[in-house]
Amino acid sequence: MEILNYTEEHRIFRDSLRRFLEKEITPHVEEWEEAGIVPREAWKKMGEQGYLAMGVPEEYGGPGADFLYSVIVTEEMTRTNHSGLAAALHSDIIVPYIQSFATEGQKHKYLPGCVSGDIITAVAMTEPNAGSDLAGMKTTAVERGDEIVLNGQKTFISNAINADLVVLAARDPHTEDPHRAVDLFLVEAETPGFEKGKQLKKVGWHSQDTGELFFNDCRIPKENRLGEKGSGFLKLMLKLQQERLVCAIGAVAGAEYMLELTIKYCKERTAFGKPLSKFQNTQFEIVEMATEVRLGRTFIDKLVADHMEGREIVVDVSMAKYWTTEMASRVADRCVQLFGGYGYCEEYPIARAWRDIRVTRIFAGTNEIMKVIAARFMGL
């Protein structure tokens, strides 16, 4: 019995998306990896075909689709074996902040562009000295009349260079409670005082335009605060459940993709006169990996079903985020070993997959933080 109830419409959508990606995205991945960024035209093509911000209601220009469509996009984008066109980050992590907390005017102003690909979003939480500890952020937001004045620096921001609209986390320096001090703000890329810094050179995720953002007396209208003053930390907590679930979905999909590549290679590659897949060690390695991947898939599918039913699964998602990303990293390393020397060569896709999966244990809250969250909820 399947845990998730995919309809025929879901299957048709997956098939059409996979064909689109095979034609419009995958052939350009090597070029984008070399360039270190995905051109805006690719985002536009995704939007034109209806593959961005699937959950945005029709009244704001979206398809109003259920979360399973987002799951499909995350899984199929993972199979393109690159990270630059971060559709899941844009559609299912950042846009929901606007959809849930922005004013009606802001929703009508920004959401249609988020759906069409004309507006690329980023979320700015991490700072040089404040990563998983959101209460320790230093970026300030000070009210002056009808404006908010922003000052501070953010780093490790995905989509930083391409971003047109940033959901920024900043704190009121006059509020002592570190949690009540945090708010979220909408900041447009062309706002005076907002500058994009250098693009960061990373071990993996080469086509992802990860960078630094600077705010120097950056003034925005007071209405650009998302929700009531002092509610930012709570809003982050409410949305981190889906962020970590999306991360876990991508990890499982990545593990499935790497295992698929490796099984195909082991059936084709011969040693001592027979395919690698006929050696007992190879068989044991593949079966062990396949078992872990299957366990991850079952776990994630159950959490997706619970999430769609509106259940609070903060502990489960924290567990899933750390376990699936650790599992995917183990699978990646074992797959490279089975590829042998070829697995360490850039011309083989397993090399990039191995390199790129590592960061999933760090972003969306480090895996150590995931364990801390779970431990607290368990009363430990």
Between CA 47 and CA 163 the distance in angstroms is: 15
Domain boundaries, the chain: 8-119, 123-228, 233-377
User: Which one of 75, 243, 285, 292 is the catalytic residue?
Assistant: 243
| Burial (0-12, 13-18, 19+ Cβ within 10 Å), 346 | exposed
Coarse DSSP helix, strand, coil percentages of the chain, rounded to the nearest 5 percent: 55, 15, 30
pLDDT given at position 130: 74
Instruction: Please name the fold of domain 123-228.
Output: Butyryl-CoA Dehydrogenase, subunit A; domain 2 (2.40.110)
**If pLDDT is split at 50, 70 and 90, which confidence band does 176 have?**
confident
CATH class of 8-119: mainly alpha
pLDDT band at 1 (very low <50, low <70, confident <90, very high): low
User: At which residue do the structure tokens 């299912």 appear?
Assistant: 92
Which residues lie across from 188 on neighbouring strands?
A: 165
Whether 190 is catalytic is: no
Question: What pLDDT does 179 receive?
Answer: 82
Please give the residue that has the higher pLDDT: either 128 or 248.
248
Mean pLDDT over residues 239-245, rounded? 94
Q: Mean pLDDT over residues 321-336, rounded?
A: 98
Task: Please state which of the ranges 69-73, 113-117, 141-145, 177-181 shows the lowest mean pLDDT.
Answer: 177-181
Q: What is the pLDDT of residue 132?
A: 67
Topology of the domain covering 233-377: Butyryl-CoA Dehydrogenase, subunit A; domain 3 (1.20.140)
pLDDT digit string, tens, across residues 14-44: 999 999 999 999 999 999 999 999 999 999 9
Do the bridges between strand 165-171 and strand 147-157 make them parallel or antiparallel, or are there none, so unpaired? unpaired
Q: Tell how far CA 244 is from the center of its chain.
A: 8
Coil vs helix vs strand at 6: coil
For position 238, what pLDDT does the model report?
A: 86
What confidence tier does 178 reach under pLDDT thresholds 50, 70, 90? confident
Across 225-234, average pLDDT: 91
233, pLDDT greater than 80: yes
